[in-house]
Amino acid sequence: MDTKASQSKKCSRNFYHFSCGHRGLRQELPSYTHSSTCGKWDPDHTCENIMLGLNVAKVEMECKHCAPEPPAVAEPAATAATVKSITTAAGIERLKEIRANYENNEILRKVRHQELEKQEKAEFEKCAERKEIETLRQLRRQEREKKEKAKEEALAEEIEKLKAKTVRQKAYIAACKASLAEREASLAEFQRKYKAEANGLEKEAEAEARRVEDLRLEEQKLATEMVEMEMEDQELKDWVLL
């Protein structure tokens, strides 16, 4: 066979090619010597040896990019030497043996072809299963993100409520301070105006002073509550930042 002509043809990865131009499935030839050089053939192989499966260890395969297409033959063609030998009973038995080996090889090829189809089907099912798993993971991730978003919205709403409450409490404290300042001013005016009066006025001044003291205590209490509320507000902000 012409090496250059064989290199111009596309190789079939599922076959080993021989020097006579025939080919066989790779599973049918477990013992072979692979040639890494393009176009290298084993000259010791004849068509008869290949059909009988003899000297399989000497078979060499062409590079997968340049192996030739096999000849379109339905049955193995005998060589000239084999045809000449079919003149005796031994030659006829030899031909029958060649025929039986060819039919056995065909059966084996079909069985192994079915096994390959089963393997391909199993791989396809594995791919589909991996795709379903990835889809399930994506759905779970979306559900988790949705829950986290709802939690963040609820937390933001709670923070707004606390801010509004803090504003109202600050306004109340400011009103108490204004009222206290007004009472202190009234007390000072009262002391200046009626300082010259006797014991009765002094007692009223003491009573007013006691009221002022009570208001101061109330102010201190409100101031303490305000500080505690500001600390709680700061702790809540720190918790939100975490």
Q: Are residues 60 and 23 in contact, defined by beta-carbon separation less than 8 angstroms? A: no
In which residue are the tokens 């025929």 written?
99
- Residue 22 phi/psi, 5-degree rounding, is -80, 170
Average pLDDT, rounded, for the chain: 68
pTM of the model: 0.27
End-to-end CA distance of the chain: 79
Q: Are residues 97 and 76 in contact, defined by beta-carbon separation less than 8 angstroms? A: no
237 sits in the region (left: phi over 0; alpha: psi -120 to 50; else beta) called alpha
pLDDT digits (tens, 9 = 90+) for 73-103: 444 444 445 544 445 666 667 777 777 788 7
Provide the CA 9 distance to its chain's centre, in angstroms.
Answer: 42
| Tokens encoding 149 | 């978003």
d(CA 191, CA 11): 119
Instruction: Of 172, 173, 183, give the one whose Cα is nearest residue 220.
Output: 173
Q: Is 19 buried (19+), middle (13-18) or exposed (0-12) by CB count in 10 A?
A: buried
Sign of CA dihedral 229, 168, 236, 241: negative
pLDDT digits (tens, 9 = 90+) for 207-216: 888 888 888 8
Question: So what's the pLDDT on residue 117?
Answer: 83
pLDDT digits (tens, 9 = 90+) for 221-230: 888 888 888 8
Question: How far are the Cα atoms of 27, 48, 77, 159, 178 from residue 98, in angstroms, in the given order?
Answer: 20, 8, 10, 91, 120
Question: So what's the pLDDT on residue 88?
Answer: 61
Whether the pLDDT of residue 11 is over 70: the answer is: no
| Tokens encoding 74 | 């339905």
Q: Are residues 62 and 5 in contact, defined by beta-carbon separation less than 8 angstroms? A: no
Question: So what's the pLDDT on residue 242?
Answer: 64
Sign of CA dihedral 23, 27, 33, 37: positive
- The helix (H) or strand (E) run that includes residue 24 is strand 23-25
pLDDT digits (tens, 9 = 90+) for 121-162: 888 788 778 888 888 888 888 888 998 999 999 898 998 999
